[in-house]
Structure formats: structure tokens, C-alpha cells
Amino acid sequence: MRLHPDVITAETEDGTVLLHQRSGRYWQLNTTGTAVIESLTSGETLDEIAHRTAKRYSLPVEQVRQDVEVVVHQLRAAELVESTS
């Protein structure tokens, strides 16, 4: 996965702001959301992200995986990320 070509980012104290230049809309991600998008764009799988995040926060892997899937769905729907293949 990668960021959509029309998206630029800016780091903040609390995470990252994503701006879709074509639509003019922006989204703010907290630090966990930022870690998820960085992992996705680095080529990690949803399972890898879910396991690492679950371990870090002592949460059930299944719950974290569902949460990550929701975030990915929202990022795709907003055209913030796209598949590389």
C-alpha cells in the first residue's frame, strides 16, 4: 500500500495530518493511526501490524486486527491510500 499521489502529510505532536490536495479535505491521525499507516506503506501486512500493536497495548489480536481493517477501509474510502499492485 502507498499514500495516494494527491496526499501530503505533516507530523504533529499527536500524530499526523493527511491532506488530500485534490479534494481539500484533511484527516488527523493519532500516534497509533500514524504507526498503522507508516507500517502499511512500508509493506507490512495487516497481521504483522495487528500482532505488534496487540502486544504493545496488551490487547487481543483479533480485536486489533478488526480495528486496523476498519482504519484501512476508511483510508481507502477517503482515497488517502491505494494498493501498490
Say which residues have a Cβ less than 8 Å from residue 24's Cβ, sequence separation at least 6: none
- Dihedrals phi, psi of 7, to nearest 5 degrees: -105, 135
Whether residue 85 has pLDDT greater than 80: no
- Dihedrals phi, psi of 15, to nearest 5 degrees: 150, -125
State the average pLDDT for the chain: 93
Tell me the three cell numbers of residue 83: 494498493
The confidence score (pLDDT) of residue 84 equals 84
* Residue 42 pLDDT level (bands cut at 50, 70, 90): very high
* Structural domain includes residue 19: yes
Residue 43, domain CATH? 1.10.10
- Alpha-carbon span 44 to 16, nearest angstrom: 19
Q: How many domains does the chain have?
A: 1
pTM equals 0.85
* Structural domain includes residue 62: yes
Q: Which domain holds residue 7?
A: 2-79
Q: What percent of the chain has pLDDT over 90?
A: 91
Whether residue 52 has pLDDT greater than 80: yes
Q: What percent of the chain has pLDDT over 70?
A: 99
